[in-house]
């Protein structure tokens, strides 16, 4: 009886399929990151400021780019900047901002608003640099070359400055001699060693400078400077294959086609050292040696009748040469 009952149960166990083996989760294969992916991963570690890529405000794009520049120590900054500017701050947009800065007027803005707008737009002006801008600095340096040269028929006090990116001419000199100017395509922002920023908006039209009987073309940007009429910078020096010999105070020109020539700079006259009379007395009281000298003019002056005021007033009465002595004559003299 029991056997009859268990027979179907055993048959069911034998026909039952074996359970599937336990599922083992496959381990993902390691993914090798490309160089660009690694750069992107390293970049995101710094949590950069988010930029939505909007084309409405190119100024914000430029400001964002400047703020994250320090992050790019791990990737090539120049490549990123080139691509970024091409999309969000193209050359046309930059030129438009330069023109906006050039044509900026106060109009109905307050002084504070105008100043803020000026500062914001001035960043789009091209950069330049002037190394030596004052005559006092030149005299202290003692290794620069200066001289007087004709520019468009007018003599100008010129400084050869290898530290200046561009060549400049004083606005005062331009107005004084009446040179013809033309506007620049943009505004040039020029930095001086003192930290002052000057703006140049014009240049001299078809300008030439004469050196050693050679006429050389030069592009002179008008700048508000006082101590020099003209500063010839690296743009002009390199274009004319010129080198400055500071020891001999010379500028040597070696044109590829033609003979070499040079310009001898003017000697810088040093002011003699002068001390006060009180300091002299103190030094003498301390036993300091002193030498007293005096200068006398031993040349005999040439005496002429023209030195007399009366003779100068009546040249017809007093001839240059007396032919003879006056004849003797009697003079009646009496006291009544």
Give the pLDDT score at 253: 92
Q: Is residue 35 part of a domain?
A: no
Q: What is the CATH number of the domain that holds 199?
A: 2.40.70.10
Q: Is residue 66 part of a domain?
A: no
Q: How many structural domains does the chain have?
A: 1
Task: Measure the N-to-C terminal CA separation of the chain; round to a whole number of Å.
Answer: 204
- Position 1 confidence tier, pLDDT thresholds 50, 70, 90: very low
9 burial class (0-12, 13-18, 19+ CB within 10 angstroms)?
A: exposed
Q: Residue 40, SS3?
A: helix
Q: Is residue 92 part of a domain?
A: no
- The larger pLDDT score, comparing residue 241 to residue 125, is at 241
- Strand 127-129, strand 230-232: pairing: unpaired
Query: What is the arithmetic mean of pLDDT over 42-69?
Result: 72
Q: Is residue 256 part of a domain?
A: yes
Query: pTM higher than 0.85, yes or no?
Result: no
Q: Is residue 118 part of a domain?
A: no
**Per-residue pLDDT tens over the stretch 116-160:** 787 777 666 655 555 445 666 665 555 578 888 999 888 999 989
- The larger pLDDT score, comparing residue 307 to residue 188, is at 188
Give the pLDDT score at 216: 92
Give the pLDDT score at 9: 45
CA–CA distances in Å: residue 336 to residues 332, 333 = 12, 10
User: Closest by alpha carbon to 80, among 109, 25, 52, 43?
Assistant: 43
Q: Is residue 336 part of a domain?
A: no
Q: What is the mean pLDDT of the chain?
A: 75
Name, in order, each residue with C-beta under 8 angstroms of 200's C-beta and a sequence gap of 6 or more: 128, 168, 184, 187, 188, 190, 221, 222, 223
Give the pLDDT score at 135: 61
**Per-residue pLDDT tens over the stretch 310-332:** 767 776 766 667 677 777 877 77
Instruction: Give the range of the structural domain holding residue 149, as residue numbers without chain letter.
Output: 129-264
Sheet holding 197-204, edge to edge: 127-129, 181-191, 197-204, 221-223, 168-170, 230-232, 154-160, 145-151, 208-211, 214-217
Alpha-carbon gap, residue 236 to 9, rounded angstroms: 109
- What does R_g of the chain's alpha carbons equal in angstroms? 43
**Per-residue pLDDT tens over the stretch 69-111:** 766 655 677 777 777 777 777 777 777 776 776 677 777 888 7
**Per-residue pLDDT tens over the stretch 212-224:** 888 999 999 998 8
Q: Is residue 324 part of a domain?
A: no
Q: What percent of the chain has pLDDT over 90?
A: 9
User: Closest by alpha carbon to 186, among 174, 170, 203, 171?
Assistant: 203
Residue 279 has pLDDT above 70, yes or no: yes
Residue 21 has pLDDT above 60, yes or no: no
Give the pLDDT score at 265: 82
Q: Is residue 56 part of a domain?
A: no
| Six token digits for residue 274 | 């002068």
Q: Which range is least confidently modeled, 64-68, 142-146, 250-254, 301-305?
A: 301-305
Residue 5 has pLDDT above 50, yes or no: no
């Amino acid at each position: 009886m029991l056997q009859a009952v268990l027979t179907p149960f055993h048959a069911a166990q034998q026909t039952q399929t074996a359970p599937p083996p336990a599922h083992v989760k496959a381990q993902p294969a390691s993914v090798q990151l490309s160089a660009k992916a690694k750069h992107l991963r390293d970049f995101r570690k710094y949590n950069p400021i988010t930029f939505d890529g909007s084309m409405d405000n190119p100024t914000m794009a430029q400001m964002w780019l400047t703020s994250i520049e320090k992050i790019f120590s791990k990737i090539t900054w120049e490549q990123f900047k080139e691509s970024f500017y091409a999309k969000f701050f193209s050359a046309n947009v930059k030129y438009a901002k330069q023109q906006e800065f050039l044509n900026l007027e106060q109009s109905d803005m307050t002084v504070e608003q105008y100043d803020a707008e000026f500062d914001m737009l001035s960043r789009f002006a091209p950069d330049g640099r002037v190394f030596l801008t004052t005559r006092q600095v030149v005299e202290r340096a003692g290794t620069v070359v200066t001289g007087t040269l004709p520019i468009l028929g007018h003599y100008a006090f010129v400084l050869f400055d290898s530290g200046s990116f561009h060549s400049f001419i004083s606005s005062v000199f331009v107005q004084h001699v009446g040179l013809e100017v033309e506007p620049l395509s943009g505004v040039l922002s020029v930095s001086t060693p003192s930290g002052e920023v000057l703006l140049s908006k014009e240049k001299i039209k078809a300008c030439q400078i004469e050196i050693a009987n050679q006429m050389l073309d030069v592009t002179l940007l008008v700048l508000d400077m006082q101590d020099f009429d003209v500063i010839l910078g690296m743009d002009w020096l390199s274009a004319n294959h010129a080198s400055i010999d500071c020891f001999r105070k010379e500028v040597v020109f070696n044109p590829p086609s033609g003979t070499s020539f040079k310009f001898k700079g003017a000697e810088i006259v040093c002011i003699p050292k002068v001390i006060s009379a009180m300091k002299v007395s103190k030094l003498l009281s301390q036993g300091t040696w002193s030498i007293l000298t005096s200068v006398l003019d031993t040349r005999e002056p040439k005496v002429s009748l023209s030195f007399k005021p009366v003779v100068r007033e009546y040249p017809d009465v007093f001839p240059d040469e007396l032919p003879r002595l006056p004849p003797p004559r009697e003079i009646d003299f009496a006291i009544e």
